[in-house]
Amino acid sequence: MNFREATDVEAVGEGQWRGELAEDWDIVGNTNGGYMQAISARASSMAVEGRDPVSATGHFTRPGHTGPVEIETEVIRHGRRFSVVRARMIQDDSVILETLGTYRLPPSEASEILLSDIDPPDIPSPNRCIPLTAAPDASFPPPLMNQIDLRLTPDLAETFMGGATGKALVEGWFNLKDNEKLDPFALILTCDSFPPTAFAANFPVGWTPTLELTVHIRNPRATGWLKCQFRSHFITGGFIEEDGLIWDEGGRLVAQSRQLSLVSTSPS
């Protein structure tokens, strides 16, 4: 099942949608949050005549799991250029995700760049980076890795084989399987597909569940491999923030993200 099929939703009533959290899009049994948010954003987009997401913020209230979900959408504003939609994803009679997003008509052409003072990271090409594939026991790397093509830089790959870089920094490449075309919803998934930055630091870290994820879509028409960088500066008070920057092969910034997660400094 490709990404488009795995995020499909169908209308079942006014502002009511039905979808499915597909099998093996998970991390240790819990469905990946970015994948869940992509489904919610697709339903929200359909609620406003297929407009593209500009900004999508999700608050995760409990883990999701493989199986059917319902999405309730409420159009807060449907203007000439922008729409705002609130959505609730429900599974087993409980809300598992609340999202609020801004949507727009697809741009007719790329916008002019007025300021760009951060360059894409200088990392090895995708064919020189290390693909992550799911572990046979569904532990780490998680089953999600078999649904996407994610490649870590060689030094970072060594980190996840028992070392540590000492920096809360993760870099690598993302693409969908079998050359499936990227869409704005795949960019939301991209921002939550890489291992947590805390795993690269030099202290023991356990489970890091996401509390909130915000994704800004800067260019919805990304092409080719996506060059990704995720960085954290503070791990304090039981929380870690993670800032993401996503470029396409042409060096265009296509998405940004900020994620807030719980973090434990003892192994799970």
* pTM, entire model: 0.94
Cβ-based neighbour number of residue 264 at 10 Å: 14
- Kindly report, residue by residue over 68-86, the tens digit of the pLDDT: 999 999 999 999 999 999 9
Alpha-carbon distance of 7 to 42, in angstroms, equals: 7
- Kindly report, residue by residue over 233-243, the tens digit of the pLDDT: 998 898 999 99
Q: pLDDT class for 159, splitting at 50, 70, 90?
A: low
Mean pLDDT of 8-34: 96
Residues ≥6 apart with Cβ < 8 Å to 217: 52, 53, 54, 55, 56, 184, 187, 188, 254, 255
Between the alpha carbon of residue 97 and those of residues 37, 86, 151, 198, the distances in Å are 8, 11, 28, 24
